[in-house]
């Protein structure tokens, strides 16, 4: 399935609606422009397996370019426009992109990237002019006949990673045409979450991230309408739900926290009764936060666990979660194995490295065979991990503990920061929190909480002690922070994910 199928039967149905402006792209328009671009890319000499890159904010043209790649057997790489020019240029160069498309909304970055990657010959701007770039609109006008052979392409996105350069995640290209079934995310939305052409899906996150891009594309493959926010805003998302009668959305837990921090009268003033499904992922959701969202929106929350690598997925519904509180569900794609550092499978209830078994290896890290090898189980090449830690219960439900890279080892005891962060997420004076390990001369590491307070709250030694006691009352004493630092803001990505690596580096630099 792909937009062309729906353009043939419902050409005027909205495929993309911009939440703030109401600008709409129909399925007829999405199909026509993506088909034109696919033809032009072939005219430029690109063949299946080649790569194009995109620098774009949240605008409709991003989906035209995505589908042009996917309907012509190409890889498409979206670079995070919040990166520095050097970082974005590294992704463009490392991907091997032969053509780069850039939005006028990120013109200054795009100009600098072009100067840093002179080996790329073709640069095109959409949404306005960019110095040094040719016109996207004029490019479409050069299109010849539609391609009759439309092998399915794929995204090749870059993970931020916990250390070092970002990794290009290169999935295996499927041996199918774009209109044939077989794409796993589309199947997941259709069969795992019940998406149909009647759904209106709200996407509040940047399209350069894996989940927003893949889920929006899957909704379009199924014929639904995607409502895209320019950027996340708590009250703005409620307004969009009401205005467009949104039936389904996806958020990260931080977005839930921001919604819950709105005044009660603000929350109550918007009609969200159209929602049938609220999906969350990307990070473990504090149980108290999830409870509060269920109390507000009803038992419509569904959670999945996966990664940009696409190595596997688990799912859990609200009724299941109430029985298995804190779980991220049972495997929906792949088979879960929990192993120790040597690859030996661990018994039920014991935390270890999470591997997903697939029929064949699902991905490689582009230009990095060493990292690809590190992601595989020592004895099974079709078992892959991204370094997360968790355990299975007796019924096969997966519980996450934390990233292996963020685990704190204090006095030989493993402490998982996520558990402490979950407790502090609902503290009445805390707006945002991160828990990290810092060096300790005797214990190896000790636990530190880095806290951003709500507006109107003031840091103090007394409040720091209160926060520590708050954790001690709810968790084992050794898990509680030994110290609390107050900051103006924590480093988070545009999707709301905590960039803990950046925070840890600050404390290494200052030696505390």
pLDDT tens digit string along 175-213? Answer: 999 999 999 999 999 999 999 999 999 999 999 999 999
Q: What is the pLDDT of residue 405?
A: 66
Q: Is 324-406 in CATH node 3.40.50.300?
A: no
In angstroms, the CA 401 to CA 350 distance is 11
Average pLDDT value for residue range 94-98: 97
Residue 257 has pLDDT above 60, yes or no: yes
For domain 3-221, give its CATH number from 3.90.1150.10, 3.40.800.20, 3.40.50.12780, 3.40.50.10490.
3.40.50.12780
Q: Which fold has domain 411-510?
A: GMP Synthetase; Chain A, domain 3 (3.30.300)
Q: Which of 425, 476, 412 is nearest to 452 (CA)?
A: 425
Q: Where are the domains of the chain?
A: 3-221, 324-406, 411-510
Helix (H, G, I), strand (E, B) or coil at 295: helix
Q: How far is CA 487 from CA 147, 433, 440, 452, in A?
A: 55, 10, 22, 5
* Tokens encoding 195: 């998406």
Q: What pLDDT, in 10s, does the model give residues 135-154?
A: 999 999 999 999 999 999 99
Q: Read off the pTM.
A: 0.84
Q: What is the pLDDT of residue 402?
A: 65
Average pLDDT value for residue range 3-14: 97
CB 71 within 8 A of CB 35: yes
Residue 232 has pLDDT above 50, yes or no: yes
Residue 162 has pLDDT above 50, yes or no: no
Helix (H, G, I), strand (E, B) or coil at 511: coil
* Tokens encoding 293: 């969202």
In angstroms, the CA 133 to CA 120 distance is 12
Q: What is the pLDDT of residue 7?
A: 97
């Amino acid at each position: 399935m792909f937009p062309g199928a729906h353009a043939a039967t419902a050409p005027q149905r909205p495929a993309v609606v911009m939440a703030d402006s109401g600008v709409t792209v129909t399925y007829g328009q999405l199909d026509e422009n993506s088909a034109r671009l696919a033809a032009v890319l072939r005219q430029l000499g690109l063949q299946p397996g080649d790569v194009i890159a995109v620098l774009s904010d949240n605008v409709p043209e991003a989906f035209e370019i995505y589908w042009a790649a996917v309907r012509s057997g190409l890889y498409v790489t979206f670079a995070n426009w919040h990166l520095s020019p050097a970082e974005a240029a590294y992704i463009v160069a490392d991907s091997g992109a032969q053509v780069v498309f850039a939005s006028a909304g990120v013109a200054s970055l795009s100009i600098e990237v072009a100067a840093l990657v002179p080996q790329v010959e073709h640069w095109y701007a959409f949404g306005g002019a960019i110095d040094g770039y040719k016109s996207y609109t004029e490019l479409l006008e050069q299109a010849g006949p539609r391609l009759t052979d439309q092998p399915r392409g794929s995204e090749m996105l870059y993970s931020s990673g916990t250390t070092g350069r970002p990794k290009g995640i290169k999935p295996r290209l499927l041996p199918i045409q774009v209109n044939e079934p077989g794409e796993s995310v589309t199947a997941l939305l259709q069969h795992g979450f019940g998406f149909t052409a009647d759904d209106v899906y709200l996407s509040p996150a940047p399209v350069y991230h894996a989940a927003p891009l893949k889920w929006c594309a899957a909704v379009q493959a199924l014929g639904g309408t995607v409502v895209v926010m320019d950027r996340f805003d708590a009250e703005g998302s409620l307004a969009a739900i009401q205005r467009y009668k949104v039936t389904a959305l996806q958020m990260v837990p931080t977005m839930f926290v921001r919604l819950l921090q709105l005044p009660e009268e603000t929350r109550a003033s918007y009609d969200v009764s159209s929602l049938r499904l609220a999906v969350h992922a990307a990070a473990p959701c504090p149980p108290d936060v999830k409870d509060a969202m269920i109390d507000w929106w009803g038992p419509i929350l569904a959670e999945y666990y996966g990664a940009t690598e696409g190595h596997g997925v688990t799912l859990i519904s609200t009724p299941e979660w109430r029985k298995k509180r804190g779980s991220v569900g049972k495997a929906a794609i792949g088979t879960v194995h929990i192993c120790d550092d040597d690859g030996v499978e661990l018994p039920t209830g014991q935390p270890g490295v999470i591997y997903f078994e697939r029929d064949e290896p699902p991905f490689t890290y582009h230009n990095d065979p060493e990292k690809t090898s590190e992601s595989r189980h020592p004895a099974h090449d079709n078992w892959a991990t991204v370094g997360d830690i968790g355990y299975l219960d007796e019924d096969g439900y997966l519980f996450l503990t934390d990233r292996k890279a963020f685990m704190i080892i204090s006095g030989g005891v493993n402490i998982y920061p996520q558990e402490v962060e979950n407790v502090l997420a609902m503290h009445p004076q805390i707006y945002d929190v991160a828990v990290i390990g810092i060096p300790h001369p005797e214990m190896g590491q000790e636990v530190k909480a880095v806290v951003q307070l709500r507006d109107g709250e003031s840091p103090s030694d007394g409040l720091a002690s209160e926060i520590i006691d708050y954790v001690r009352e709810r968790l084992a004493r050794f898990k509680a922070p030994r110290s609390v630092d107050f900051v103006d803001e924590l480093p988070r990505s545009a999707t709301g994910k905590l960039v803990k690596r950046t925070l840890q580096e600050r404390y290494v630099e200052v030696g505390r």
